[in-house]
Chain A
Amino acid sequence: MKALTQWCYTALLLLSISSGDVAVSYGQMTAGEPAPLFALKNSEGKSYELAGMKEQPMLILYFFDVASRPSQEGLLSLDKLAKKYKDAQLAVWGITRSDAGQVATFLSQTQLGFPVLIDDGSVSDQYAARIILPTACIVGPDLKLMDYFQGGGKTTESLLVTLAERKLQSRQTDIAKALSNEVTQKDPGNVRAKSVQGYAELKEGDLKAAENTFSKLSKKKGDAEIVGKEGLSQVYAQKGEPDKAMTMAREVESKAGDRAYSHVVRGDLLYSQNKPKEAEAEYRKAIEKQGGSPSQRATAYNQLGRIYATRGEYSKSLGMYDQAVNLDPYFVEATSNKGMTYERQGEWDKALATYRQAQTIDRADPFAATLAANANKMILMDKDPDRRRQVEAQVDAYVQNYKNAVTAATAQSEDPWTSSGTIQILLLEPAETGGLAVRDGFPRVLTLHLADQLNASGRMGVIEPVVLERVIKKLGLTQASLKDPEITLRLARACGVNLIAEGTLYHLSEGTLLKYKLIDTATNQASREISRQIASAATLGKDLHWLNREMLLTIMEAFPLQGYVVKVNGYEVLMNLGSKQGVVVGALFDVVEDQPAVEFKGKVMKPEPLVMATIEVVRVDQEFAYAQIKEQRRQIAPEDKLRENIRVLKGEPISNW
């Protein structure tokens, strides 16, 4: 019966060819068109609907025949990779016109992890996947058809390389490398696959491996040489060797004048040398070139968009980001940059929608997540008059304090030793210097993220970013004037904070260097500097968390919780600190004894207090807590001073005696 059907289709195909309308009936689908919606069931009757996959950044539809080994090849390769990289978000639907019995046998033989959907032919027709099998489609964000492949063998190879490139664009470097490896094992000369490997290594910050990969390519002839040298110029730029990078870029231009990427490399270098006009000219040249991969040209559009945004030419910059995203739908940076541009124009609704789009591309992107949450907060605030009034009142109070150069009133306590509440912090947006970062809004993301994390600790209270931004605007302060320590100190005192946190972001070719210092507003003394290099976007989330931890530790060292022993009952100690000050079960406190000042050759020195005992909190109430004695040198008594033990948090032993 099936043979008869096949015969009929072949006859129909021949008929169509003779009548010249093959392109209409059984042609190809083109990239960019919306993927036709459908709903199909697997052999167990479970329903799968394409419309339900809107949130999925990438879905592969693989039309095949379960009875034909060559037509399964690509699907089995993908299955092997999906099993190995469980977090790779490699969603594949196999679709077949084979009957349910055959499908069941196939599934039991292969233990396939993907669903295989049974089609009566209608979906295969919609996707022009009836005659040539396998046919595979990569469906991208918003269910747009991005790539279309017909046939096995070399086409399967091409599918895997394209998929590797797409995975690389969406920063899933592990799976991109694995796909590229899958291809080069069978076809060691595949330049595209090799190039994916090199760029994945670059994205991971492994410059040595990337240099090795591109260097091998550059020694070959033809396309390989060009691709290799292009990659090398990027490696040298990231290694901080601009001369070598420029030389390579020139070589690429002389051999393949139609390629865009060497201009992007030169543009980036010029911008970092503080030559924005020359950089812009290079990016312009890049977008006029048609050679190289679409994602390389997309980078040029993004950089131009960034330049326009810095000049406040927002509509032009939006146009550039659109072009970038059209060329590379997985360009999460350009998508979030577009949202940032809307945000700068005060169009919060559009900004939020764009950030959400960026989150669809990459759920783990810390930029999109932080900016979306903030945009949402701003929209809600606009709709809530009480909250708006509260923010405005706060802003007015701080502005008034600043103008009168007064310190915000704080409750005066009779007990200066005991910690009164959370530590207030003025978190200024870090200044950006150096090259042109691919992403707009880095300082904003850092500030919002840190503010949330520090507040969540229960120990710190960061002046709300929206309040601070409005105060700065009302006072007419600029990024440049905030560099003046006197102005920031006056602002900090006006807001009644204990600490100022100010930072700098240096965009270097080898990554972004982040530096923060904390200044005590009472003494005007700066703490040690917290610095970290963010080498790749892949580790950004973890780097931000690291920054939060370092900052918490530094602040806790500078402002440890302090209180008194109220009562001692056997091994249990009652203390006058509770959850209001941020005490939690498990926290350690030292019983400390002040040492008398020592005078030596006219200088008076105040020694560190002696640690007499260490106690661990076991129960917490709002105003007080109970602790148990862990170690003691002498009996603990009421009125003994308590100070939080930070040593354990730093990995040191409980006591040093």
Chain B
Amino acid sequence: MRFIGWLCMFFVSLWGTIHPALALGAETERIFSMPVSETEAVITPWLENNGFEVYRAKGEQQEVQLEAEKVGATWLIRLRAHSPLATRVTVREVGGEAYPPLSAFWDHLEGYVKMPSTSELRAARATPDPIQRQINAVVCLFTDRGGTPAQLTGFVVDRQGFIISTAHDLNPGQELSVQFRDGRESVGRVVKLDGHRDLCLIQVPQTLESVIPLRNGRYTPGPADVLFTVGCPRNGLESVVNGVLDGPPRRVDGMPLWQVRMHIEPGSSGSPVFDEHGSLVAVVKGRYRGTNAVGFLIPFETVLNFLDSY
């Protein structure tokens, strides 16, 4: 009875092949490197915790069909073995858009696959305490890039609500949404923007507790120093990554830039970079086109020069 949805889908898809415009919401598919049984064990509690009622049916072979329902939205999810160790997950949205959106569902699965095991977690905790203590000063910034939503990172430098981030994609006076690590949100305004240095200063109308102090900043880290960057958290996971300088500083358009061997995710622009003692040494500018493993940093000195002129 519960699978009337699937039956309807069949007829609608049939109809959709004749009148493509009538086909229901797009189907998205991804492959995850875990068995079907494990994928199901990860998906079901997530759906239930997010208010969906989940009905299950066993398909042919190793196929599992899940129908997740909540007011206004239904997701038809198919899990098929891609191998005994990989699952092809297909989701079709029926009805309106659900909250949380489908992207959160994919993020959860990606996050699970990437989640380190206990022993890896122990190694990851090697993040020095002075850096851990400053994590709360890192914020997520949400804006709009020519009609598509974009995300970048920033960090609080002054209790009076001042946040530093990169300038690309932003305009002077622009308002953007600021999300703090404790979940609070606020609206910030770009009060200063320097496209040449690729830095901007954003102000939020409140007093902030966690600050990355500029007085502890460091001008030139050594080539052997391990650097750490804290990006805007994705999927609720701490994203502290480390790396090292890759060659001497370069000058691009007259501005010094450091190349760094570091895993840099999209959305990391504007993240603070520390040495192992927790001193601010740079800000992430972006990554080398086409790779996540090489990035560019704006040195601390440029940040100070930028603020001096404010």
- The reply to whether B86 and A649 form a contact with Cβ atoms under 8 Å apart is yes
From residue B211, how far is it (CB to closest CB) to chain A in Å? 16
- The reply to whether B85 and A649 form a contact with Cβ atoms under 8 Å apart is yes
Contact of A536 among B36, B61, B88, B118 (CB under 8 A): B118
- The reply to whether A364 and B117 form a contact with Cβ atoms under 8 Å apart is no
Residues of chain A lying within 8 A (CB to CB) of residue B82: 584-587
Asked if B34 lies at the interface with its beta carbon under 8 angstroms from chain A, I say yes
Q: Which residues, 54 to 104 on A, are CB-close (under 8 Å) to B?
A: 80, 83-84, 86-87, 89
Residues of chain A lying within 8 A (CB to CB) of residue B85: 549, 552-553, 556, 649
Asked if A276 lies at the interface with its beta carbon under 8 angstroms from chain B, I say no
Asked if A456 lies at the interface with its beta carbon under 8 angstroms from chain B, I say yes
- The reply to whether B86 and A541 form a contact with Cβ atoms under 8 Å apart is no
Asked if A323 lies at the interface with its beta carbon under 8 angstroms from chain B, I say no
With both beta carbons as reference points, the residue of chain B lying nearest to A82 in the complex is identified as B183
- The reply to whether B183 and A549 form a contact with Cβ atoms under 8 Å apart is no
- The reply to whether B119 and A533 form a contact with Cβ atoms under 8 Å apart is yes
Asked if B251 lies at the interface with its beta carbon under 8 angstroms from chain A, I say no
Residues of chain B lying within 8 A (CB to CB) of residue A158: none
Asked if A443 lies at the interface with its beta carbon under 8 angstroms from chain B, I say no
Asked if B169 lies at the interface with its beta carbon under 8 angstroms from chain A, I say no
Most buried by A among B84, B85, B182: B84
Asked if A452 lies at the interface with its beta carbon under 8 angstroms from chain B, I say yes
Contact of B37 among A86, A456, A586 (CB under 8 A): A456
Residues of chain B lying within 8 A (CB to CB) of residue A452: 37
Contact of B83 among A534, A542, A586 (CB under 8 A): A586
- The reply to whether A556 and B117 form a contact with Cβ atoms under 8 Å apart is no
Report if A84-B182 is in contact (Cβ < 8 Å); known contacts: A549-B35, A584-B62, A584-B80: yes
- The reply to whether B83 and A587 form a contact with Cβ atoms under 8 Å apart is yes
From residue B288, how far is it (CB to closest CB) to chain A in Å? 24
- The reply to whether B117 and A539 form a contact with Cβ atoms under 8 Å apart is yes
Asked if A316 lies at the interface with its beta carbon under 8 angstroms from chain B, I say no
Residues of chain A lying within 8 A (CB to CB) of residue B178: none
Asked if B45 lies at the interface with its beta carbon under 8 angstroms from chain A, I say yes
Asked if A543 lies at the interface with its beta carbon under 8 angstroms from chain B, I say yes
- The reply to whether A80 and B62 form a contact with Cβ atoms under 8 Å apart is no
- The reply to whether A456 and B36 form a contact with Cβ atoms under 8 Å apart is yes
Asked if B107 lies at the interface with its beta carbon under 8 angstroms from chain A, I say no
- The reply to whether A549 and B83 form a contact with Cβ atoms under 8 Å apart is no
Report if A458-B81 is in contact (Cβ < 8 Å); known contacts: A453-B38, A548-B38: yes
- The reply to whether A87 and B38 form a contact with Cβ atoms under 8 Å apart is no
- The reply to whether B182 and A459 form a contact with Cβ atoms under 8 Å apart is no
Map CB proximity to B onto A197-223 as digits: 1 under 8 Å, 0 otherwise: 000000001101100000000000000
- The reply to whether A206 and B125 form a contact with Cβ atoms under 8 Å apart is yes
Which bucket holds chain B's interface residue count? 20 to 34
| Cα distance A456–B41 in the bound complex, in angstroms | 12
Residues of chain B lying within 8 A (CB to CB) of residue A582: 84
From residue B86, how far is it (CB to closest CB) to chain A in Å? 7
Asked if B115 lies at the interface with its beta carbon under 8 angstroms from chain A, I say yes
Residues of chain B lying within 8 A (CB to CB) of residue A543: 117-118
| Cα distance A281–B53 in the bound complex, in angstroms | 50
Asked if B291 lies at the interface with its beta carbon under 8 angstroms from chain A, I say no
Report if A542-B183 is in contact (Cβ < 8 Å); known contacts: A456-B35, A584-B81, A584-B83: no
From residue A236, how far is it (CB to closest CB) to chain B in Å? 17
Q: Which residues, 82 to 131 on B, are CB-close (under 8 Å) to A?
A: 82-86, 88, 115, 117-119, 121-122, 125
Map CB proximity to A onto B54-88 as digits: 1 under 8 Å, 0 otherwise: 00000011100000000000000000111111101
Report if A457-B84 is in contact (Cβ < 8 Å); known contacts: A539-B117, A542-B117: yes
Map CB proximity to B onto A445-467 as digits: 1 under 8 Å, 0 otherwise: 00000001100111100000000
Residues of chain B lying within 8 A (CB to CB) of residue A584: 61-62, 80-83
Residues of chain B lying within 8 A (CB to CB) of residue A553: 85
Asked if A9 lies at the interface with its beta carbon under 8 angstroms from chain B, I say no
From residue A469, how far is it (CB to closest CB) to chain B in Å? 23
Asked if A7 lies at the interface with its beta carbon under 8 angstroms from chain B, I say no
| Cα distance A548–B38 in the bound complex, in angstroms | 9
Report if A363-B45 is in contact (Cβ < 8 Å); known contacts: A556-B84, A584-B80: yes
With both beta carbons as reference points, the residue of chain A lying nearest to B31 in the complex is identified as A586
- The reply to whether A80 and B117 form a contact with Cβ atoms under 8 Å apart is no
Asked if A277 lies at the interface with its beta carbon under 8 angstroms from chain B, I say no
- The reply to whether B83 and A83 form a contact with Cβ atoms under 8 Å apart is no
Map CB proximity to B onto A502-544 as digits: 1 under 8 Å, 0 otherwise: 0000000001000000000000000000000111100101110
- The reply to whether B118 and A80 form a contact with Cβ atoms under 8 Å apart is no
Asked if B49 lies at the interface with its beta carbon under 8 angstroms from chain A, I say yes
Asked if A38 lies at the interface with its beta carbon under 8 angstroms from chain B, I say no
| Cα distance A146–B250 in the bound complex, in angstroms | 64
Map CB proximity to B onto A578-593 as digits: 1 under 8 Å, 0 otherwise: 0100101111100000
Residues of chain B lying within 8 A (CB to CB) of residue A457: 35, 37, 62, 81, 84
From residue A586, how far is it (CB to closest CB) to chain B in Å? 4
Asked if A545 lies at the interface with its beta carbon under 8 angstroms from chain B, I say yes
Residues of chain A lying within 8 A (CB to CB) of residue B119: 533, 535
Most buried by A among B31, B81, B83: B83
Asked if A546 lies at the interface with its beta carbon under 8 angstroms from chain B, I say yes
Residues of chain B lying within 8 A (CB to CB) of residue A542: 115, 117
- The reply to whether A545 and B38 form a contact with Cβ atoms under 8 Å apart is yes
Report if A458-B118 is in contact (Cβ < 8 Å); known contacts: A541-B41, A545-B38: no
- The reply to whether B183 and A458 form a contact with Cβ atoms under 8 Å apart is no
Residues of chain B lying within 8 A (CB to CB) of residue A539: 117-118
From residue B85, how far is it (CB to closest CB) to chain A in Å? 5
From residue A610, how far is it (CB to closest CB) to chain B in Å? 23
| Cα distance A364–B35 in the bound complex, in angstroms | 19
Report if A552-B61 is in contact (Cβ < 8 Å); known contacts: A363-B45, A586-B83, A586-B86: no
| Cα distance A586–B80 in the bound complex, in angstroms | 10
| Cα distance A68–B278 in the bound complex, in angstroms | 43
| Cα distance A582–B62 in the bound complex, in angstroms | 9
Residues of chain B lying within 8 A (CB to CB) of residue A649: 33, 83, 85-86
- The reply to whether A459 and B45 form a contact with Cβ atoms under 8 Å apart is no
From residue A651, how far is it (CB to closest CB) to chain B in Å? 8
| Cα distance A249–B183 in the bound complex, in angstroms | 41
| Cα distance A649–B182 in the bound complex, in angstroms | 39
- The reply to whether B84 and A552 form a contact with Cβ atoms under 8 Å apart is yes
Report if A546-B117 is in contact (Cβ < 8 Å); known contacts: A80-B182, A458-B81: yes
From residue B230, how far is it (CB to closest CB) to chain A in Å? 17
| Cα distance A458–B60 in the bound complex, in angstroms | 11
Report if A579-B86 is in contact (Cβ < 8 Å); known contacts: A80-B183, A364-B45, A545-B38: no
From residue B14, how far is it (CB to closest CB) to chain A in Å? 21
Most buried by A among B38, B45, B60: B38
Residues of chain A lying within 8 A (CB to CB) of residue B86: 586, 649
Q: Which residues, 92 to 126 on A, are CB-close (under 8 Å) to B?
A: none
Contact of B38 among A86, A549, A556 (CB under 8 A): A549
Report if A84-B83 is in contact (Cβ < 8 Å); known contacts: A584-B62, A586-B88: no
Other A-B pairs, 16, CB within 8 Å; known A453-B37, A585-B80? A86-B49, A205-B118, A208-B125, A363-B45, A457-B62, A545-B41, A546-B117, A549-B38, A552-B84, A579-B61, A585-B88, A586-B88, A587-B83, A620-B61, A649-B85, A649-B86
22 A–B pairs (Cβ distance < 8 Å), ordered by A: A86-B49, A89-B49, A205-B122, A456-B35, A456-B36, A456-B37, A457-B37, A457-B84, A459-B84, A541-B41, A543-B117, A545-B35, A548-B35, A552-B35, A552-B84, A553-B85, A584-B80, A584-B81, A585-B82, A586-B88, A587-B82, A649-B86
Closest 7 CB pairs of A and B: A84-B183, A456-B37, A586-B82, A457-B84, A535-B118, A584-B81, A545-B38
B: which residues have CB within 8 A of A? 31, 33-38, 41, 45, 49, 60-62, 80-86, 88, 115, 117-119, 121-122, 125, 182-184
